[in-house]
Amino acid sequence: MDQRRRLQAMLEGLRASGLRLTPQRVAICEVLTRSRNHPTAYQIHRRLRRRFPTMSLATVYKTLDALVRLGLVSALGDAGDGMVHYDGATDPHINLVCLSCHRVQDLEDVAVEGLHAQVVARSGYVLRGARLVYYGLCPDCQRKARSKSPAEA
């Protein structure tokens, strides 16, 4: 789904669940559809604070909760930083989490679609979303770890 349609689906979903489409909520949805770096609620709040000085963190959480319930946003487990990261792309893909620098990146074009089809066929479920998270050390952090401890190499 492209960004514009994803944003549209989020706004319609919020309206259908009885939340008013305030400029703040629209901006939260925009951050989620535009950013591919899986922000936390705190990061979304910090990003929008200058534009909406009166917006509370609770508003961000409430909006995120509604979107997660609707299956339009995925709540990813923490990235080793004790924070929930949110993903505005719910089409099947793999999230890679670095436990050292806490970046969360996407891995597309892996055979995830086929996996989904198998899950549907074997369970009879209607899938609203899925979460595939791999944890480890990203290449940058591996390099840093190697250069920091030459004696151990």
Q: How many residues bind Zn ion (CB under 5 A)?
A: 5
Q: Minimum distance from CB of 101 to Zn ion (Å)?
A: 3
Is there a contact between 95 and 59 (Cβ–Cβ < 8 Å)? no
Q: Which is nearer to Zn ion, 64 or 98 (CB)?
A: 98
Our finding on whether 96 is near Zn ion (CB under 5 A) is no
- Residue located via tokens 């509370």: 56
How far is the C-alpha of 24 from the C-alpha of 90, rounded, in Å?
22
Q: Which is nearer to Zn ion, 103 or 116 (CB)?
A: 103
Our finding on whether 98 is near Zn ion (CB under 5 A) is yes
Distance of CA 148 to the CA centre of its chain: 31
- What would the x/- binding string for Zn ion be over residues 111 to 150, using CB under 5 A? ---------------------------x--x---------
Q: Which is nearer to Zn ion, 83 or 138 (CB)?
A: 138
Beta strands in the chain (DSSP E): 74-76, 85-87, 94-98, 104-107, 132-136
Our finding on whether 100 is near Zn ion (CB under 5 A) is yes
Q: Which is nearer to Zn ion, 42 or 135 (CB)?
A: 135
- What letter does residue 135 receive in the DSSP assignment? E
Q: Which is nearer to Zn ion, 7 or 98 (CB)?
A: 98
Is there a contact between 68 and 75 (Cβ–Cβ < 8 Å)? yes
- Residue located via tokens 């770096």: 37
What sign does the CA torsion over 20, 25, 30, 33 have? negative
With CB under 5 A as the contact rule, the residue among 101, 112, 130, 132 that binds Zn ion is 101
Our finding on whether 26 is near Zn ion (CB under 5 A) is no
- What letter does residue 121 receive in the DSSP assignment? H
Please report, as ranges, the residues that interact with Zn ion according to CB under 5 A: 98, 100-101, 138, 141
